[in-house]
């Protein structure tokens, strides 16, 4: 818009004309916002609030009278408050580059004054202290012209050709060199030890590698040998398995043939033998039965024959008594007893003959006994087996 002016963020807008500014300043200060300015009747100028830099290169004499060439850099700017802007505007608005020139000259004077009160050792070893003292002494003077210093850096200190700083640093250099040599020797020793350790490690590694290679080679040789033997061994195992299978098959066939022979020959032979044995036993039993039947038939026939001959035997026995002198003691009863004795004696003779015919084990106890010329005949009855003895006296 025509007549409306706005300052940049790092600028302060100074409006002159019309009523006066704060504290009787010949202009009004505007920062951070815009303002309507009447053309022709008002005049607007801008003051930078950005950071500025001033470089100082000065030859200073120390308290010891030694000249030092000092180079420093100052970072400064216009203060943000209205008073600092007014002070800086009144001094540098028409030529703002003069701020760096004036700041360098101010710091050069303060730098010479402070270095003149210090020794070379203090300046060299306490640069931060030197910068802090320069800032403190220049702060009030810089505030008067509306400037503030952000930092002061001492970049270099040089004594020229005097060699004081070098001489001052010689002991330190010697100590440093000595330490450096010691460190170098230690480093060399450590390096040699490291090389020796590395050499031992390499030798050990080479030995282990050789051992591993030898073991690997031996393992390869064994594997190759096993591989070379694997074919014949496998063939031998296969042949052995074939032989085992054939042997087992032969055994099975022999066992099967044996079972077949048992089934075809032995079992029928055993069955035939058993049949023959049974038939023989049966035949023997039959023959025994037949023999027993025949023997029984013969005994019956013999008994029949003896019975048929019994009257003749009795007759013959009685005939033997025909000329004998027989005394009958009890009359008619005695005669009956003699007759009965004769019959009984005939029966005994018949039984003795039958026993002799039946076997050699016949007992002699059933034979008639002879005692002293007088015969006492023991007669048995065939009907009930009881003895019916009668005393007969034969003269």
| 144-to-91, 135, 243 alpha-carbon distances in Å | 10, 14, 124
Identify which of 347, 255, 253 has the alpha carbon closest to the alpha carbon of residue 309.
347
Share of the chain above pLDDT 70, in %: 74
Least confident of 127-136, 139-148, 256-265: 256-265
Output the average pLDDT for the chain. 77
pLDDT of residue 371: 39
pLDDT of residue 384: 45
pLDDT of residue 164: 81
The two beta strands, 11-16 and 27-30, are: antiparallel
Query: In the chain, where are the structural domains located?
Result: 4-159, 321-395
Identify which of 61, 70, 67 has the alpha carbon closest to the alpha carbon of residue 162.
67
> Higher model confidence: residue 73 or residue 340?
73
CA-to-CA distance for 228 and 235, rounded, in angstroms? 12
pLDDT of residue 319: 61
Superfamily of domain 4-159: Band 7 domain (3.30.479.30)
Query: How confident is the model over 199-236, as pLDDT tens digits?
Result: 988 898 888 888 888 888 888 888 888 888 777 877 88
Residue 291 has pLDDT above 50, yes or no: yes
Cβ atoms within 10 Å, residue 2: 5
| Per-residue buried b or exposed e for 179-189, using 16+ beta carbons within 10 Å of the residue's own CB | eeeeeeeeeee
Query: How confident is the model over 9-23, as pLDDT tens digits?
Result: 888 888 877 676 666
CA-to-CA distance for 37 and 13, rounded, in angstroms? 11
Mean per-residue pLDDT, 273-285: 82
């Amino acid at each position: 818009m025509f007549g409306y002016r706005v300052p940049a963020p790092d600028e302060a807008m100074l409006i002159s004309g019309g009523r006066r500014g704060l504290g009787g300043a010949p202009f009004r200060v505007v920062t951070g916002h815009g303002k309507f300015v009447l053309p022709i009747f008002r005049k607007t100028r801008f003051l930078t609030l950005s950071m500025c830099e001033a470089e100082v290169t000065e030859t200073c004499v120390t308290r010891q009278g030694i000249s030092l060439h000092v180079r420093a850099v100052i970072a400064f700017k216009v203060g943000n408050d209205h008073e600092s802007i007014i002070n800086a505007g009144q001094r540098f608005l028409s030529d703002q580059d003069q701020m760096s020139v004036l700041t360098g000259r101010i710091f050069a004077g303060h730098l010479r004054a402070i270095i003149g009160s210090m020794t070379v050792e203090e300046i060299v070893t306490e640069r931060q202290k030197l910068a802090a003292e320069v800032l403190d002494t220049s702060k009030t003077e810089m505030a008067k012209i509306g400037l503030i210093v952000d930092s002061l850096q001492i970049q270099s200190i040089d004594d020229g050709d005097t060699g004081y700083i070098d001489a001052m640093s010689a002991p330190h250099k010697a100590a440093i060199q000595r330490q450096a040599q010691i460190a170098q020797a230690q480093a060399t020793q450590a390096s040699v030890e490291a090389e020796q350790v590395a050499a031992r490690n390499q030798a050990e590694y080479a030995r282990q590698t050789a051992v591993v290679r030898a073991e690997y080679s031996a393992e390869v040789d064994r594997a190759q040998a096993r591989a070379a033997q694997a074919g014949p061994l496998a063939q031998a195992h296969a042949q052995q398995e074939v032989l085992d299978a054939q042997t087992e098959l032969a055994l099975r066939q022999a066992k099967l043939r044996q079972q077949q022979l048992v089934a075809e020959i032995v079992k029928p032979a055993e069955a035939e033998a058993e049949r023959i044995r049974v038939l023989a036993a049966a035949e023997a039993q039959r023959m025994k039965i037949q023999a027993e039947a025949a023997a029984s038939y013969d005994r019956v026939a013999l008994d029949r024959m003896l019975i048929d001959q019994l009257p003749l035997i009795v007759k013959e026995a009685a005939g033997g008594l025909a000329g004998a002198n027989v005394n009958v003691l009890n009359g008619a009863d005695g005669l009956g007893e003699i007759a009965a004795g004769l019959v009984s004696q005939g029966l005994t003779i018949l039984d003795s003959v039958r026993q002799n015919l039946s076997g050699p084990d016949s007992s002699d106890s059933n034979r008639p006994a002879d005692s002293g010329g007088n015969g006492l005949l023991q007669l048995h009855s065939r009907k009930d087996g009881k003895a019916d003895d009668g005393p007969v006296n034969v003269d």
